[in-house]
Amino acid sequence: MTEGLKNALLNLIISALTGFDSLVDSAQGVLTGSGTGAFDVNQVWNAVLGLSDALKPFCYVAIALCLLIEMAQVAQKVDIIKWEHGLKLGLKMVFARLCIDVAPTFLRACYNQANIWITSALSVGNYQSLGGMMSGEVQTQLNNVTGLGNVLGLFISTMLVALAIKICGLLIQVIAFGRMFELYIYLAVSPLPCAFFPLGDGTGGGWSRITQKFFKSFIAVCLQGVMIILCIRIFYMIIGNSIDAMILNATGGTDAGAIVTELCYTMLMGAIVLVMSVARCGSWAKSIIDAM
């Protein structure tokens, strides 16, 4: 019975670690645009562009309304509307129409540039599967655990930890998928903020802060993906070095159950920190873009 419980415990820990690795790898695949099927970027991108086309007729009406509003503001501020004002408003109308058509190309260029940075970040540092790194050491230490009570206590203490580690991996994957959905939503509604381009400073000059904030927000979401990848790479480097140090410092006199517990709790601590960091990447990216 003791051996069966040890095997169950070993399978539980390895399943949690390999599951975490698998979920994080899946998240990285989504962030790099290497997903397949429903998450194939090119396929979904083109489909979302079709949805954005449905907004264009309304956006053309919005451009006209914005021009009327801007013209009314100009009339309030000046006694005589000069030809320069008409020229500015006419150019704004042309640029608004052009912005609607060019926006998808510009957004895709921003996304592609972010993917280049992500790919570069993926090639930095040593990346080693945590499941493969810890499986041998956990199995060795479990073989040194004796007594049904000790094995049962270790099983109970690590069962929830293993579940929490896997949940952390799932949360990272959810955040990665959420980032892609956010990009697609921005793409789908891109004609709408572009239609407000003519709204300026009320003198016929300037361009809408709505349009500016839209493009800044999209760039921030692209930068968020880069930051998530950086967080993941830093996590694997730090936690890998920590686990290596713990394995090297483990001596024959150290309680085997304590070593297994410490390895699991160290992994859980790192996974929680990673989830918190990944969740904060969106606000970090927006802070950087707003500061520019």
For residue range 9-24, list pLDDT tens digits in order.
Answer: 777 888 888 889 888 9
Compute the average pLDDT of residues 281-287: 91
Rounded CA gap, 194 and 101, in Å?
Answer: 9
Q: Taking 70 as the threshold, does the pLDDT of residue 209 lie above it?
A: yes
More confident residue, 288 or 70: 288
- Identify the pLDDT of residue 281: 93
Q: Taking 90 as the threshold, does the pLDDT of residue 40 lie above it?
A: no
Compute the average pLDDT of residues 238-259: 71
The dihedral through the CA atoms of 283, 288, 291, 292 has a sign that is negative
Q: Please, what is the average pLDDT of the chain?
A: 81
- Identify the pLDDT of residue 57: 84
- Identify the pLDDT of residue 90: 74
- Identify the pLDDT of residue 101: 86
Residue whose tokens read 């950086």: 230
- Identify the pLDDT of residue 205: 59
**76-100 burial string, b = 16+ CB within 10 Å, else e?**
eeeeeeeeebeebbeebbebbbebb
